[in-house]
Amino acid sequence: MNRHLLCAATALLAVAPAAGAQSLLKPELGLWEMRMTMLIDGKDPFADARKQQAEATKKRSPEQRRQIEATMPPLLGNDDMHRECIDAKAQKLWADPNSLLREMEKDSPGCRYQLVTASGSTLQIKGRCEDSDGFTGDLTGGFTMQGSKAFTMRSQGKGTMAGDRGRAPKPTELRLEGSGRWIGANCGDVKPDD
């Protein structure tokens, strides 16, 4: 899987709290815990790579493991948690869905997104990715705020994934599901994104 598709998936998860701005429900300021599950053709695209990475470090000395980890950061697995700090600047950005979509496009070059609907506590988007080295296809997705301290999101896409050298692109189905919950007002060591 290429990094642009991962960036698009991460961006879709990262903007999920934006639905609150449309329904006047703003996400709480502070630390959020977010989880994501991504499947390509029904399979975890990073499972084999994580297994190889674990094998590469298993029989090494602690110093060698540190060197490997410094050059090869761990791959997130499905349902892995990451934390984000939501500050006032991020809340202001979320107040404008079109600005959010432009941010998503910066994180996933080759993809363009459109707002479909925003009603109640739900935001629906659609998009198209054109990546000759990765995913080319259509995406749809939605985010639902559950009050100001939790959200869920789902997106799916159909298209093609670039084949290995010399191979034709193959039909691909992408699914992404995520959730987030507010941890507290203090972000601690987690800094807001710029």
Q: What is the mean pLDDT of residues 46-56?
A: 75
Q: What percent of the chain has pLDDT over 90?
A: 27
pLDDT at 126: 95
- For helices 47-58 and 62-71, give the axis angle rounded to 10 degrees: 150
- Residue by residue, DSSP assigns the chain as --HHHHHHHHHHHHTGGGHHHHTT-PPPSEEEEEEEEEEETTB-TTHHHHHHHHHHHHTS-HHHHHHHHHHSPPPPPTT-EEEEEE-HHHHHHHT-HHHHHHHHHHHSTTEEEEEEEEETTEEEEEEEE--TTSEEEEEEEEEEE-TTSEEEEEEEEEEEEPPSTTPPPEEEEEEEEEEEEEEES--TTPPPP-
Going by pLDDT thresholds of 50, 70 and 90, the confidence category of residue 33 is very high
pLDDT at 85: 93
Q: What is the mean pLDDT of residues 162-173?
A: 78
pLDDT at 25: 64
pLDDT, mean over the chain: 78
pLDDT at 8: 44
pLDDT at 11: 46
pTM: 0.69
